[in-house]
Chains A and B, each alone.
Chain A
Amino acid sequence: MPPERASVPIYRRLAGMTPQMVLVPTILASVIYVVLFSLWTIWISLSQSTLLPDMTYSGFDAYFTLWQSKRWTVAFTNLFVFGTLYVLGALAMGTLLAILIDQRVRFEAFWRTIFLYPLAVSFIVTGTVWRWIFHPQTGVELALKDLGWIGAKFDWISDRDMALYVVVFTAIWHASGFAMALILAGLRSVDSDLIKAAQIDGASMPRIYRRVVLPTIWPIFVAVAVVLLQFAIKTYDLVVALTQGGPGVATTVPAIVVYDLMFQRGQIAEGAAAAVMILLGLVCVLIPYGLWSSWRQRKEGGKHG
C-alpha cells in the first residue's frame, strides 16, 4: 500500500468509487432477479408445494408428474411443431419480402412500414383480431355464407387437427416483417462486386440470389432463427388471445401449462418444474448459439462481442 493512500480523505476515496457505487442498485437487482429468483423457482420445483409453498424436499417428483401428464406432453409436441413451422415460415416469408424490396422498388420505406407494423402490435391484439377473422361465427366462413355460398366451411380455429396451424399462420404474420428487416439489412451488406461479377457471367436474378447472395448471408439466417426460436419457446399471449390453448388442449403450449399449474390448479411445484423446462429449452438454443458465434468471432479475429 502506498503511504499517501491513507491520507486521502474518506469522501475522496468514495468519490473515486462512484462508478462502482452507481452500479450497486442494478447489480443487486440483477443478482436477485437472475440468480436468486431462478434458484428459488428451481427449489420450489424440487419441493412438495401444491397450493401453498411447502419447502419439504421431494426430489424430482414434480418433474415425473409433469412428464406423465398428457397436457404437458401435448404442449411439448405442439411447441416442436409450432416452433419448426413458425421459424421456417417466418424465415421464408421474410426472405421473400426482403428480396422483393431489394429490387430497388419505389417507395421502399412505405413497403417496409407495412410489412413491419405487426411487430409493433401486441400479441394480445394480434390474437384477438385474427380470432375474429378465423372464427366461423364472425369471420371468413360467415362472410362466404353471406355472399351466398351456403355450404361454406372454414373452421380451422375450432378444429383439433387444424387449430395449431392457425396459430402458426398468425405468428408468422406477426414476425415475418422482423425477419424481413434483418435479412434486408443483410442483403444490403453483400458486396455488390460479387453480384456484378455473377451478372457478367450471365446468371439470372433468381439464380444470383440462390447461388451468390443468400449463401453469403447465411449467418443472418441463423441469428434470426435463434431469435424466433426464443419467441416460440416463450409463446404465451398469442395463444391465449387466439385460441386459449383449445379446442381442448389442441394448441396448448408449455407457457400456458405453467400458468395453469401455478395459478389455476394450485400445483406450484409442478408449475415451477414446467418453468424450469422452458428455461432448459432456451438454454439448449442459446448456449450452442453463443458458443458458435464467439467461436466464429475468434476465427475472424473480431475484437468484442
Chain B
Amino acid sequence: MADMTQRTEFDPLATGGKGRQRRARLTVYGLLGLFAAIYLMPAVIIFLNTLRPLEEIVRQGFISWPGSMSLHHWSEAWSSFCIGGTCEGVSRYFTNSLLMAVPATALSTALGLVNGYVLSKWRFRGDAWVFGVITLGVFLPAQMTLLPWAFVLGKLGLSNTISGLVLVHTVQGVSFTTLFCRNYFLNVPDDLIKAARIDGAGFWRIFRRIILPLSPPILIVTVIWQFTGIWNEFLFGTVFTSGANQPITSAIVAFSGSGTGERHYNVEAASVIMAALPPLFIYLVGGKYFVRGLTQGAVK
C-alpha cells in the first residue's frame, strides 16, 4: 500500500488553457525547488564548513562561501579530535555505535521474525494477550524504564558497557520487530502452512522452507528501521554509559554542548556528518523500504 504508484489516468497539470498550464507548472516546480532548497540547506552548509579554516568560520559564521578548502579536518575529526578528555576522534564513538546497533538490530530482528511467525501462524489460547503485552512496549516511553534499567544493568554488571545498551535496545526493539513481522506474516495464506503440516513438516522446517523465503521484504524493512532507530538513539546512551563507552550521539552532545574552551567548528561539523552518515546511507540505498517501514510502523 505504501508503494507510490503514479496515477496514470489523470494529469492535473495538463488541464486548462496553454497559459494556465504554464503558470501552474511554474508554480508547482517553483515551490518544489524552494522547499527542496530549504530542506537541503543545512546539509550543504555543514558540509562546506568541514572544509573551511577555523578562523574564517569564527569571523564569518557558518553561512558563507568557503574562501579556502581543505580536507584535513575530516581526518582530524575521525582520529585525533578531543572529546571528553580522550583524543581519539570520533572513530571510537562511531565504533561504539556500530558495536551497539549491529548486534541489537540482528538480535531483535531474529527474535521478531520467529515471534511474528508464531503469533500469526501457530495460534494458541491467549496469543492475543501475549501480542498485546509485547506491542505495548512500542508505546512505553523510555522515561518509565530508566530507573529499573539502571538497577537491572547494575545487578547484571553491565553498567557503562556497550553490551548493556545492546540488551536495552534488543528488549525494546523486539516489540517493534514482532509487530512488523506478525502483521506481515498474517498475509501469508494459512493453507500453505496447513499443506506443509499435512506433509509432515514441523515448526522449524516450515519456518525455514516457507516463512524465511517469504521474509526478505519485511526483513529489510525491520533491519533498516531498527538500525536507524538504535544508531540515532540518545537518551539510553547518555544515561547508561559515560566517557569512552558512549555512542556517537552522546559524544556529539558532549563536545558541542559544552560551552567551555575553544571551539573547532570545522572538525565538529565533520564529526556531525560522520554521525549522520550510516542512517543516511541506508536511507539512500533502501529508500523504498524505509518509507514502507514508516507507513507500517506509524499507521498500524
Contacts and interface: CB of A to CB of B under 8 A. Distances in A.
Nearest to B299: A223
Contacts of B63: 133, 139-140, 142-143
B9 A192 contact: yes
A169 B136 CA distance: 31
A275 B252 contact: no
A130 B192 CA distance: 52
Given A122-B232, A124-B275, A34 B136 contact: yes
Contact of B141 (A40, A115, A278): A278
B39 A115 contact: yes
B235 A19 contact: no
A133 B42 contact: yes
Contacts of A199: 10, 15
A224 to B, nearest CB: 7
Contacts, number: 280
B89 to A, nearest CB: 17
Given A19-B118, A121-B276, A27 B130 contact: yes
B39 A278 contact: no
B133 A27 contact: yes
Residue among A117, A173, A223, A233 with most chain B CB within 10 A = A117
Contacts of B159: none
A187 B203 CA distance: 41
Interface stretch (B79-87, B169-177, B213-221): B169-177
B78 interface: no
Interface in A216-247: 220, 223-224, 227, 230, 233-234, 236-237, 240-241, 244
Interface stretch (A58-66, A82-90, A106-114): A106-114
Contact of A122 (B140, B231, B295): B231
A22 B118 contact: yes
Given A31-B133, A97-B35, A138-B61, A113 B287 contact: yes
Contacts of B299: 182, 220, 223, 227
A225 to B, nearest CB: 11
A138 B296 CA distance: 40
Q: Is chain A's interface secondary structure helix, strand, loop, or mixed overall?
A: helix
Given A124-B275, A128-B256, A275 B294 contact: no
Interface in B266-300: 268-269, 272, 275-276, 279-280, 282-284, 287, 290-291, 294-295, 298-299
Contacts of A139: 61-63
A276 B143 CA distance: 8
A131 B173 CA distance: 30
Contacts of A26: 111, 115, 134, 174, 178
A223 B105 CA distance: 27
A116 interface: yes
Contacts of A34: 133-134, 136-137, 140
B260 interface: no
A241 B61 contact: no
Task: Report which residue of B119, B141, B145, B204 has the largest number of chain A beta carbons within 10 angstroms of its beta carbon.
Answer: B141
B212 interface: no
B201 interface: no
Contacts of A230: 139
A146 B60 contact: yes
A146 B64 contact: yes
Nearest to B234: A237
A295 interface: no
Nearest to B145: A37
Contact of B62 (A132, A234, A275): A132
A36 interface: yes
B257 A100 contact: no
A275 B146 CA distance: 9
Contacts of A185: 1-2, 4, 295
A51 interface: no
Given A19-B118, A100-B32, A192-B7, 4 more contacts: A26-B115, A116-B287, A227-B299, A240-B257
The 10 closest A-B pairs by CB, nearest first: A142-B61, A122-B232, A19-B122, A120-B283, A275-B143, A143-B63, A237-B234, A37-B148, A18-B203, A124-B249
